[in-house]
A = this chain, B = another copy of it.
Amino acid sequence: MPPATLKDVADLARVSMRTVSNVVSGYEHVSERMRQRVQSAIDELDYRPNLVARTLRTGRTGVLALVIPEIDVPYFSELARDVIKAAAEIGYRVMIDQSGHDHERERELLTGGDRTMLFDGVLFSPLVTKAELLEMGARASMPLVLLGEHQFDGRYDHVAIDNERAAHDATQHLIDIGRRRIAAIGEQPFEDYETPHLRTKGYLSALAGADIEPDAHLMRPAVHYRRADGYSATQQLLALEHHPDAIFCYSDILALGAIKAVFDAGLRVPEDIAVIGIDDVEEGQYSRPTLSTVSLDTPFIAHHAVARIAARIDDPTTTAEEVVAPHSLIVRQSTAG
């Protein structure tokens, strides 16, 4: 037996489809008697509105896309959790799309690609470069909020931390505990991503403030921000004639990989090398040593991102806003002493 339709309900209740629709969508001006009659027909047939038909008619799907590089990177899965929660609170569902570090795929997702109209808006945690982003802006047909990026040109809504200050704070903390040979892992020299650049800027400004000469050997790139990348970058640092006495990693799991590399080399964290990350993922509270980090307040980010996209869906002409999410230094064992 196929699912009941609006018409079936109307026939059973002996009213018009219009009236049933009114009842279903909670329209105000329906007499109580009608409402009862219709409701019992709905119950009897176990009627559920067909969302696809509704969407075709209204143009609204009630679905948001969350585009992230990889769902199994803890920061993104924790962000996804918060976004799904925030979206549910205002009646949206979330479809997660993995860009998988693939620029082509990102572009496709943003410009609509082969899946037009499957969602009302996009929350986008991009890997794209500045140039690509601008180019896409021209084609993107959908409400868009950028997460984590800080490219304010008045065209997109943004929700991000102050990356430069966050990196500065982390580096400053390492200086404050007396470290001088401070390495940085996470720059992406061959890409025009804004986030790593801003973090490098913050790292360098903190060094400058302490009159520490930056050393190019201590700045290691990381193609992706995964544990293995932090591990191998740290191995290279340890192979230097003078290894660093501290490492600032541009993500927590990069830092967790770094810590393992330090111990595998027979050195200790934090005694020989202090390590700090960014993100404050739960894993860092259980690692040994526990991980010092810069906390990003993902619930805040998720809440504001969803609020912005909802506003933009309701009124596409609303002026773009830039929301700066708070961050805070969290000192744990990996930088103790």
Please give the residue numbers on chain A whose beta carbons come within 8 Å of chain B beta carbons, in ascending order: 3, 48-53, 55-56, 61, 63, 70-72, 74, 77-78, 80-81, 84-85, 93-98, 112-118, 141, 227, 231, 253, 256-257, 259-260, 263, 282-283, 285-288
Contacts and interface: CB of A to CB of B under 8 A. Distances in A.
A117 B56 CA distance: 13
B81 A71 contact: yes
A84 B71 contact: yes
Contact of A52 (B52, B74, B114): B52
**Number of copies of chain A assembled together:** 2
A248 to B, nearest CB: 18
B56 A84 contact: no
Contacts of A70: 81
A53 B72 CA distance: 33
Given A48-B116, A93-B97, A93-B115, 12 more contacts: A3-B141, A48-B113, A51-B118, A52-B52, A71-B80, A71-B84, A72-B78, A84-B96, A93-B118, A231-B286, A287-B287, A287-B288
A80 B72 contact: yes
22 contacts: A48-B116, A50-B116, A51-B118, A52-B52, A52-B61, A71-B84, A72-B78, A72-B80, A77-B77, A93-B97, A93-B115, A95-B95, A96-B96, A227-B282, A227-B285, A256-B283, A256-B286, A259-B286, A259-B288, A260-B286, A287-B287, A287-B288
A52 B117 contact: yes
Contacts of A259: 286, 288
A118 B259 CA distance: 45
Contacts of A50: 56, 116-117
A51 B84 contact: no
A5 to B, nearest CB: 11
Contact of A77 (B63, B71, B118): B71
B227 A286 contact: yes
B260 A112 contact: no
Q: Which among A48, A55, A72 has the highest number of chain B CB atoms within 10 Å?
A: A72
